[in-house]
Structure 1
Amino acid sequence: MTCLRTFLFLLLLLPTTLLAQIRVGKLVIKPKEVFELGQSDILVADTLIMMDSSRLVLNKLKSENYIRARWAVFGNNCVIDGKGIDGKPGRDGRNGDTPTIPCSSGQPGRNGGKGLDGTPGINLFLYLERITVNGNLIIDIRGGNGGRGGNGGNGGGGSPGTVHCIGGDGANGGNAGPGGNGANGGSLTLDNAKNPAVKDLIGKQIIIRNYGGMAGSPGRAGYYGPAGLGPSRRNGKKGLPGTESAFGIGGGYGKINIESN
């Protein structure tokens, strides 16, 4: 009993990063199977086998992930997925109301919201002592795309006039929301100290996608509200359309680091 309490006490003293590791003797990801690291950001295996069209999804809530294997075997169209998350579209502006009371002006449309920025691609540290690539391995650490900007709401129209008052004015449309920014691609650090030939596979059988995410497009500006019509051409004035907006900024490339020591 005393030994058990001592073991549990020492276990509590271990760093949380060690407790989050996935440690296996042999990990086989079957054809078209998806294996996710989940809450872990470290995978340590004696043997890692990814069969045709299998996918290993990194922990995208962590900026850095680590994979270490004594022997890694890859089939055809294998993917290590560390792509950043695309930004969500901005909120569309609400349309302005058209009043039911005669001779009243419409309400302006609300502005569209900004598209959300994408998140950066994962920085992956890949340590493979021995590697066999029978087909091709894609390391996807692209930055996430920026979200589209929200559309501006349309302006409400003016209500009709009467013999006693002119038609109401149409309201202005809401402004378009700007697009979100694309995020930077992640960086790959590849240790080839025990396997110098691995760097010769890059661009041939190991394809690295580390470019930045695309800029989000702007939303559409809101349309103007029409003028309320009155008798004897005693019409109100039409509103103005909303203002156009801009694209976000695209992300940049990540780096590729080859370590030989």
Structure 2
Amino acid sequence: MAQKLIGLIGGMSWESSAEYYRIINELVRDRLGGLHSAKCLMWSFDFAEIEALQHAGRWDDATIEMIKAAQSLERGGADFLLICTNTMHRMADEVQVAINIPLIHIADPTAERIKTAGLKKVGLLGTAFTMEQDFYKGRLINQHGLEVLVPNDDDRKTVHRIIYDELVQGEVKETSRQMYRDVIARLVGQGAEAVILGCTEIMLLVRPEDSAVPIYDTTAIHAEAAVERVIAA
């Protein structure tokens, strides 16, 4: 079987991009057996440059960089693309318009898993951009009919700080895990039937046993969606 070539826009951060690479290759090996691994190309950003654009609100400049990366992967022969971060799906529509190959949006396979499980009200954890702006919540609500809860102001600041000050730098602290447990518990107290780990680094910190309700790891789900497309080739 001739595999499709996966294009990965990564480096945001490389910690989670490494997990994408590992998960995709493990799944291809498990599905195809033997010595099989995934055919993929990765464009890896210097995250310091992207983070500076994010926090300066220079989203138009960030969009230009994302489009350049996507077009480079398309020219390299990628059959479809993944953006290996939730936050940078803020410009997913603009990226899709600029290329001629499919982009698998990270929110879609996650939402499909949740709906298949018969759940409707979900808590969302992620960067402040993902939790507060409409590009992600709006897709879950308007395209998938989910009800989305986000943490309160203080909890959003805590979740965001831990992502940027610790997780993207490879730091996993037990004190931060407890903080996330507390945030999740408060979302469950508001009626969340599940929690979306809507930042690709959170899976480095939060485990299923840290939540009283199911957690949906967008990194693993997104990677599996890519492999499903490869296997269907």
The TM-score by the shorter chain falls in which range? under 0.3
Larger relative contact order (CA 8 Å, sep ≥ 6): 2
Larger strand proportion of the pair: 1
Q: What TM-score results when the alignment is normalised by the length of structure 2?
A: 0.22
Q: Indicate the structure (1 or 2) with the bigger Cα radius of gyration.
A: 1
Larger helix proportion of the pair: 2
